[in-house]
Amino acid sequence: QMQLAESGGGSVQSGGSLRLSCVISGYTFSYRNYCLGWFRQSPGKEREGVATIGNDGSIEYTDSVKGRFAISQDNSKNTLDLEMNNLKPEDTAMYYCAAALSHPCNPRTLVVVTTTGNAYWGQGTQVNVSS
C-alpha cells in the first residue's frame, strides 16, 4: 500500500509564495512507474488537476498555474514538491498529491483517476490566499 502525506500549506496574501511537499512511502520501489501530481479542490468547485510529472520526467501544468507553479520530485528522498509563486485568491483550495498508473500523465487524467478511485492520494494540505 502506498501512502502519501502532504505538508506546507498555509495562509498568504495575494502575490505570496508557498512550497508544498509530499512524502511518498510504502511501495516506493514501484512508484517510479507512476504518474505523480497535485490536484486541488475547494467547496463548490470541481476538482482541478494542477501539475503532473510522468515516469519519463515529462511535466504538465493546468493553464491557470503556468509560469507560477513548479513541480519537482526527489527520488532520493521519495518526495514530490510544488513550488507556488505569485499566488492568487483563486488558488485557495485543499491541495492533494497523488500517484496513479495513469497514461497519459497530465492534470486532466489525474482528475479522472482520482475521481474514480484508481489512484493513491494523501489527506491534503490547505492553502488560503487573501486579496
pLDDT digits (tens, 9 = 90+) for 87-109: 999 999 999 999 998 779 999 99
Is 8 in contact with 18 (CB distance < 8 Å)?
yes
CA–CA distance, 92 with 127 (Å, rounded to integer): 5
pLDDT one-digit tens code per residue, 32-56: 678 999 999 999 999 999 999 998 8
pLDDT one-digit tens code per residue, 69-79: 999 999 888 99
The residue type found at 78 is: N
Buried b (16+ CB within 10 A) or exposed e, 31-41: beebbbbbbbb
Grid cell for residue 88? 492568487
